[in-house]
Structure 1
Amino acid sequence: MKQFPRGNPAALPKIQATLEETESEREVRLERQQAVKDAFRRCWASYKAKSLGHDELAPLSGYSKDPFGGWGATLVDSLDTLWIMSMRDEFEEAVIAATKINFEKSSLRNVNAFETTIRYLGGFLAAYDLSGDERLLRKAREVGEMLYVTFDTPNRMPISRWDFNNAKKGRPQEAPDSALVAEIGSLCMEFTRLSIITGDPRWYDATERIREELERQQRTTKVPGLWPITVYPKSLIFDADNTFTLGGMADSVFEYLPKMHALVGGLIPSYRSMYEHAMEAAIKHNFWRPMLPGSPDVLVTGTVHVETRQGQTETFLEHQGQHLACFAGGMLALGGKLLNNREHLEAARRLVDGCIWTYENMPLGIMPETFYMVSCESDKECVWDETLWKKGVLRGADEDDLSNMARAERIIAEKRLPKGFILIPDARYMLRPEAIESVFVLYRATGRKDLLESAWGMFENIQKNTMTKLANAALVDVTVNKDPAMEDSMESFWMGETLKYFYLIFSEPDLINLDEWVFNTEAHPFRRLV
């Protein structure tokens, strides 16, 4: 059994900058904070009235959904938001409801260990860290006991999609042949925090074994420093696949490297070195500057493919942007401050500004799920070239004649492509938090006042276009100019993450001070060792 390291945590560099404001700026900020709270209160009232105890409220029909086990994902994800927003009466009601969750039954055949960890275990731990309510620690431990059984395999690697009925019947439990790297490598924050609070090393031991394997193979992958999207837990092979991204399916395994460094006060030095190796590779291979009107100095993080042709290994960068990948700016802002690394802080600025640009240059002021742009030939000089953009549009549409500008203009009109975008394959907005998350972190780290204005613009546009009679709904297509079609969907992260980050950016800087707290990937704040 691996024991959590003993000793005093290191005095890590400060993350938060000194934030100053005039009295009039303060009045505006507090008005905006209240508007965010009003939006949350409205959603919470509808969820409580129609779906309390279920995972999600369907914001158009008013029905309930249970995609995360039927254990009340929105309820648990919202506990710490209720506390942070000083909604103490509602918090107490929510705690009472949460204590009644029965984790012995599930709406699903298989438990998603990753989602259960970040939403339920993370939600209970954060609410306990904030409130000190022992009822929440008991529920956290209950979830932790369940999740610990997913590690009951011959090689101690977890079962990412766990059939607990098979486990109850005594059937063999084995790690999967393949899994997403984020689902295997993003359990450490929650498991380590549970071990720190309880003094029981089992959970730390479980995820420390994964960390050791990730570290052992970090420099042997096809892009040394990065782990590929797909890993093979059963055979302990984490370096064989050929696709590398900081976006979906891999995101949080990288996000947790600097966050674990902060959480444990530097007592596990490997997290720092693993983060440095990963970002050295990402800055070199994944980040790219898009060619955009006005030539803004911004970055986007793309997907790297490594292929072997006729015995030669070639690396290709797919110039795709993802809303999910917008977390990267906040990660680099956090890591840059913790390590006093100016290169990381500069990359953070450019990545966050890239996400803000994408929001502001869509018709509704909202970023789509995925998009493509033309990459600049040089990171230093990048002049807007309309002909080159139109050729990119033709290439994105698989057209053979890249000189047919009339055809390009028709595609631009048909696909509703704003200048700079050459393809938008997934035009949805799912109420995601990643962009405002990084705007919030960069603001706390730098004090840049323009980020407050960007955040408010994002909030206003999201509210204007996603509000329903009950709450807020995901959008089908953000390329339209008005009246976007809605999906009957409001994932728990809307209230657990998106609205929380909007609230916090307009809050006093000591509310969840980043020098004392660190967020898991579901925006649940854990108390740091300091």
Structure 2
Amino acid sequence: MLLLRKLPGMPGWPAALGLRLPQKFLFLLFLSGLLTLCFGALFLLPDSSRFKRLFLPRRAAAGDSDLPRSPPAAAAAEPRHASPAAPRRLRDKLRAAARLGAPPAHTSAGGSKQQVQPGEGGAEAGTESAPAAPAAPRQTRAPFRFDYEKFHSSLRHPVLGRRGGEELETRARRLKIKEMMKFAWDNYKRYAFGKNELRPLTKNGHIGNMFGGLRGATIVDALDTLYIMELGEEFQEAKSWVEKSFDLNVVFKNKALELGEKLLPAFNTPTGIPRGVINLGSGMSWSWGWASAGSSILAEFGTLHLEFLHLTELSGNPVFTEKVMNIRKVLNRIEKPQGLYPNFLSPVTGNWVQHHVSVGGLGDSFYEYLIKSWLMSDKRDTDARKMYNDALEAIEKHLVKKSAGGLTYIAEWRGGILDHKMGHLACFSGGMIALGAEQAAEEKKQHYLDLAAEITHTCHESYARSDTKLGPEAFRFDSGTEAMATRLSERYYILRPEVVESYMYMWRLTHDPKYRQWGWEVVKALEKYCRVEAGFSGIRDVYTTTPNHDNMQQSFFLAETLKYLYLLFCDDDVLSLEDWVFNTEAHPLPVNHTNFKAKASMQ
């Protein structure tokens, strides 16, 4: 999540438009997605790798041992095995970016103040008059202005729902998850505020190499979760920090539109497939050194569509849509082995580099964004729907298998040879298939709902068969083993959200009470094995009840895991699936019911 209201020398942006708190929340949602796009989608890590150094990081402040030493400006990143994780999509993959320039002056915000009263009954805001802001510098581009009234009138449900009659147990469980979020936030604020993530065992902050020199990742990731849970005071704390301290002054120097424009040079390849890394200052781009033959990654260039289309809708600039639609043209033109999409594609030749197919790491969010592009377009993007249908048909034909014990899983495909392994990262697919099933042809709707339920059940079994009732990073179906990790390097759990993500979608689409019960089992396991004195920590082995904690409260735990658990125990009209599509980091983007466009004007 990101709130950008005040830039150096400029009036607070949403305040200047006279927006109320719900309106500002819409800006938070969009800017959150844009931030995820810029510091995630183009910066992907391979299995079991992170990076030892940053590209062009800022110098460490004296006494900050977490800050990396600055390498030469053009130095290549050097991989290390900081974690055996095979990170899903954008979340704990490297967000490596170029130097962003000097940090902004920490001046106080001049925008309006909101006072939100937290509580289950709803948040109400009172707005005071803002002091006069300094005159803005002359603008060289047309700022976009969101037609809030038109958009708001198109929503079919209140953003935070109506909170009608509900069972006391459901409310109590939701309040428990809210307490977990507050506990995680309060400890982050106490020991790590302004750093990227909390180390709950040592009670200090972690900056590390994951976010390209930026700080405050947990604040940015948690903003919309705090809002949705109506933690008003905490939301204001986070918003205030972002206004004053979030170091994006160069990237967002004029408007958020400029940030999208800074990514465009990565598309300057013979095929238009973007390279994996871009220097936001110089515009130079290159592929990751570990990617075969300079290839780009499917889950990298395939996870731009939602944000780029929304950027065109808001700005009126078609270039963003043109870039991602060209990616589709390339993918539709190229021959696909058995109808499958391998994970590595050359941005120079437009040919596949390796025939490794995975619905988990390196491939996952490409498939997710196909069905979600169709949904976000209010079901007008028929090309996305067809691509999703064809891809799912190939996945079901070649990758979906059933174990001897009757568990349905999605294997990986390596040049025609199946690897009977399913990663935790692939467990989002139950929810994805359920979303697609809801809109499928009548003769296939129940089939795909059943498939989604079977995959979600398998992922639940990976939890149920562990001693902690939390799932391993990967589980296998070979040598008589089913839904269990067989390698020491796959036994850990780092507070991942994919399984509870599928529980949330399956609950919303079927209302089968078992999904809420399974979600509550996860809550209890998190409380018992991951909650420590100063936050929540991942564990290194889910098969022992004496946990060895990894001393990291991941930012995605607040952005996704707790959000999906909370929504699991909310009414369906809280961030209704009719009005909102969750991007790959669980930040909601609006369904385009009205095909709205922004109004541009010169200042």
1:315-326 correspondence runs (5 A): 315-326=416-427
Other structure's SS at 2:532 match: coil
Distance (whole Å) between structure 2 residues aligned to residue 427 and residue 247 of structure 1:
17
Other structure's SS at 1:507 match: coil
2:330 to 209, 213, 232: 213
**Superposed displacement of residue 197, structure 1:** 2.4
1:339 paired with 2:440, answer yes
**Superposed displacement of residue 274, structure 1:** 0.2
| One-letter amino acid of the counterpart of residue 301, structure 2 | I
| One-letter amino acid of the counterpart of residue 503, structure 2 | V
Distance (whole Å) between structure 2 residues aligned to residue 472 and residue 422 of structure 1:
23
**Superposed displacement of residue 28, structure 1:** 0.5
1:96 to 240, 246, 257: 240
Q: 8 Å contact 1:51–1:63 — kept in the other structure?
A: yes
1:36-51 correspondence runs (5 A): 36-51=177-192
Q: 8 Å contact 2:401–2:410 — kept in the other structure?
A: yes
C-alpha change, 1:463 and 1:255, in structure 2 (3 Å) is same
Other structure's SS at 1:515 match: coil
Other structure's SS at 2:167 match: helix
Once the two structures are superposed, residues 388-419 of structure 1 have per-residue CA deviations (whole angstroms, 9 ceiling, x without a partner) of xxx546xxxxxxxxxxxxxxxxxxxxxxxxx7
Q: Give the aligned partner of residue 306 of structure 2.
A: 189
Q: Give the aligned partner of residue 160 of structure 1.
A: 276
1:516 to 556, 579, 583: 579
1:76-87 correspondence runs (5 A): 76-87=220-231
Other structure's SS at 1:477 match: coil
1:267 paired with 2:380, answer yes
Q: Give the aligned partner of residue 494 of structure 2.
A: 430
**Superposed displacement of residue 37, structure 1:** 0.5
Once the two structures are superposed, residues 411-452 of structure 1 have per-residue CA deviations (whole angstroms, 9 ceiling, x without a partner) of xxxxxxxx7647244101011000000010011001101111
Other structure's SS at 2:466 match: coil
Q: Give the aligned partner of residue 193 of structure 2.
A: 52
Distance (whole Å) between structure 2 residues aligned to residue 491 and residue 317 of structure 1:
32
Q: 8 Å contact 2:491–2:543 — kept in the other structure?
A: yes
Distance (whole Å) between structure 2 residues aligned to residue 103 and residue 137 of structure 1:
8
**Superposed displacement of residue 164, structure 1:** 3.6
**Superposed displacement of residue 348, structure 1:** 0.4
Which is further off, 486-495 or 58-67? 58-67
Q: Give the aligned partner of residue 250 of structure 1.
A: 363
1:26 to 167, 171, 180: 167
C-alpha change, 1:96 and 1:234, in structure 2 (3 Å) is farther
Q: Give the aligned partner of residue 68 of structure 1.
A: 211
Identify the structure with the greater helix proportion: 1
Distance (whole Å) between structure 2 residues aligned to residue 499 and residue 515 of structure 1:
21
Q: Give the aligned partner of residue 113 of structure 1.
A: none
Distance (whole Å) between structure 2 residues aligned to residue 246 and residue 470 of structure 1:
35
Other structure's SS at 1:335 match: helix
- Give the TM-score taking structure 1 as reference length: 0.74
Q: Give the aligned partner of residue 492 of structure 1.
A: 555
| One-letter amino acid of the counterpart of residue 260, structure 1 | S
- Give the TM-score taking structure 2 as reference length: 0.66
| One-letter amino acid of the counterpart of residue 236, structure 1 | G
C-alpha change, 1:211 and 1:97, in structure 2 (3 Å) is farther
1:473 paired with 2:582, answer no
1:146 paired with 2:262, answer yes
Q: Give the aligned partner of residue 20 of structure 2.
A: none
Q: 8 Å contact 2:538–2:552 — kept in the other structure?
A: yes
**Superposed displacement of residue 154, structure 1:** 5.4
**Superposed displacement of residue 102, structure 1:** 2.0
1:303 to 412, 424, 432: 412
| One-letter amino acid of the counterpart of residue 183, structure 1 | E
Which is further off, 278-287 or 337-346? 337-346
1:169-184 correspondence runs (5 A): 173=285, 177-184=294-301
Distance (whole Å) between structure 2 residues aligned to residue 349 and residue 138 of structure 1:
47
Other structure's SS at 1:518 match: strand
Q: Give the aligned partner of residue 49 of structure 2.
A: none
Q: Give the aligned partner of residue 477 of structure 2.
A: 373
Unaligned runs of 5+ in 1: 1-13, 15-20, 107-135, 307-314, 375-390, 394-418
Distance (whole Å) between structure 2 residues aligned to residue 79 and residue 143 of structure 1:
20
Unaligned runs of 5+ in 2: 1-155, 157-162, 289-293, 594-603
**Superposed displacement of residue 240, structure 1:** 4.4
Other structure's SS at 1:300 match: strand
Other structure's SS at 1:339 match: coil
Other structure's SS at 2:338 match: coil
Distance (whole Å) between structure 2 residues aligned to residue 364 and residue 42 of structure 1:
21
| One-letter amino acid of the counterpart of residue 79, structure 1 | L
C-alpha change, 1:274 and 1:371, in structure 2 (3 Å) is same
Other structure's SS at 1:288 match: strand
Distance (whole Å) between structure 2 residues aligned to residue 104 and residue 290 of structure 1:
53
Distance (whole Å) between structure 1 residues aligned to residue 571 and residue 253 of structure 2:
27
Distance (whole Å) between structure 1 residues aligned to residue 300 and residue 343 of structure 2:
10
Once the two structures are superposed, residues 139-162 of structure 1 have per-residue CA deviations (whole angstroms, 9 ceiling, x without a partner) of 744542433343345543323122
Distance (whole Å) between structure 2 residues aligned to residue 147 and residue 194 of structure 1:
12
Distance (whole Å) between structure 2 residues aligned to residue 496 and residue 85 of structure 1:
12
Distance (whole Å) between structure 1 residues aligned to residue 246 and residue 559 of structure 2:
18
Once the two structures are superposed, residues 472-525 of structure 1 have per-residue CA deviations (whole angstroms, 9 ceiling, x without a partner) of 111111111x12101122221100000000000001211011111111110011
C-alpha change, 1:139 and 1:423, in structure 2 (3 Å) is farther
**Superposed displacement of residue 298, structure 1:** 3.3
Distance (whole Å) between structure 2 residues aligned to residue 254 and residue 279 of structure 1:
8
1:447 paired with 2:511, answer yes
**Superposed displacement of residue 191, structure 1:** 1.3
